[in-house]
Structure 1
Amino acid sequence: MTIPHIPSAATPAVAASLNLWHEMIAADDLSRLREIVAEDAMFRSPMAHAPYASADALVLALTTVIQVFKDFTYHRSFVSDDGLDVVLEFSATVNGKSLKGIDMIRFGADGLIRDFEVMIRPMSGLQALGAEMGARVGGSLPAFKAKT
């Protein structure tokens, strides 16, 4: 996988975090993820209404999903005018089901991830992902549910 171009609209701190993110994805190794995640980060799953609160929740979800996805590829990226919000479009397969999705990532001025939301389609791909993630982290991720 080639590392996607980081849009110039991203702030320097966000661009540095995105570069590390893409390097980790390319290496299939998210062991340095905590370096770019704020302690109070939120993870918003496509399978759950309420977000999961804390860096621990985000790291658990993302380090697990990278093991579940096969043929994962980023295609396009979009950056907000202030350079702090990034949308990354991707495709992957889960247990033979194709899916497309986006990662909507909100960074702080320090370049740390504050909010990471995932949206996925079609339903068959989302269901395959939900089943696999449930089998792997269904017993531990719910403990991080944010109070809404």
Structure 2
Amino acid sequence: MTTTYALAAAPQQTLAAWHRFVASGDGEVLRPLLAEDVVFRSPFVQSPIPGRTATLLVLTTVTQIFENFQYHRTFVAGAHDAGLEFSANIGKWQLKGIDLIRFNEEGQMIEFEVMVRPIKALAALGEAMGNRIGPQLLALKAGAAGG
């Protein structure tokens, strides 16, 4: 027996706006899509990165780093859960990945988890991100942890 899921209307609108953000890289398009307490899960660090400010920083930076970025498929796992398969290049490395997104009732993103392969492309992405926003991200994480 196959179960078919449909994304609720509000998350569908958010995903449409998400694709506009990815095309433009404009953080002002992204900001209202993220819940204030959104949690970002990076493929580089074990602990989640909490909050809208840090998530905005990560996602707007990665859109500047990825080359030839393209979504291929969307998977729906319930009214408020979606997965987006993507590919991109970082320098000489080609990567594939999945964005796993959970939405609240209002359609805002409350969880955003990224998985990337292969390891060499992930390492290149980690280096590029660290070079651009490493200190800022550490400060935001420390502030969110109360330290």
TM-score between both structures, scaled by the size of structure 1: 0.89
Work out the CA distance in 2 between the residues paired with 1:142 and 1:113: 22
Look at both structures and tell me which one has the larger radius of gyration over its CA atoms: 2
- Give the secondary-structure state (helix, strand or coil) at the position aligned to 1:138: helix
- Give the secondary-structure state (helix, strand or coil) at the position aligned to 1:24: helix
How many aligned positions are there? 140
Work out the CA distance in 2 between the residues paired with 1:37 and 1:75: 23
1:137 maps to: 133
Percent identical pairs in the alignment equals 46
Question: For the structure 1 residues 84 and 141, does the alpha-carbon distance in structure 2 shift closer, same or farther, using more than 3 Å as the test?
Answer: same
Cα RMSD (Å): 1.6
Work out the CA distance in 2 between the residues paired with 1:143 and 1:80: 34
User: 1:101 is matched with which residue: 93, 97, 104?
Assistant: 97
1:65-104 equivalences under 5 Å are 65-81=62-78, 83-104=79-100
* Cα-to-partner distance string for 1:44-90 (whole Å, 9 max, x where unaligned): 11000001110001100000000000000000011113x10110000
1:4 maps to: none
Structure 1 residue ranges, 4+ long, deviating more than 4 angstroms after superposition: none
Work out the CA distance in 2 between the residues paired with 1:24 and 1:103: 14
Q: Which consecutive residues of structure 1, in runs of 5 or more, have no partner in the other structure? A: 1-6
TM-score between both structures, scaled by the size of structure 2: 0.90
CA drift of 1:28 comes to 3.7
User: 1:51 is matched with which residue: 48, 53, 57?
Assistant: 48
| Structure having the larger proportion of residues in helix | 2
1:37 maps to: 34
CA drift of 1:96 comes to 1.7
2:117 maps to: 121
Work out the CA distance in 1 between the residues paired with 2:24 and 2:51: 25
Work out the CA distance in 2 between the residues paired with 1:29 and 1:54: 18
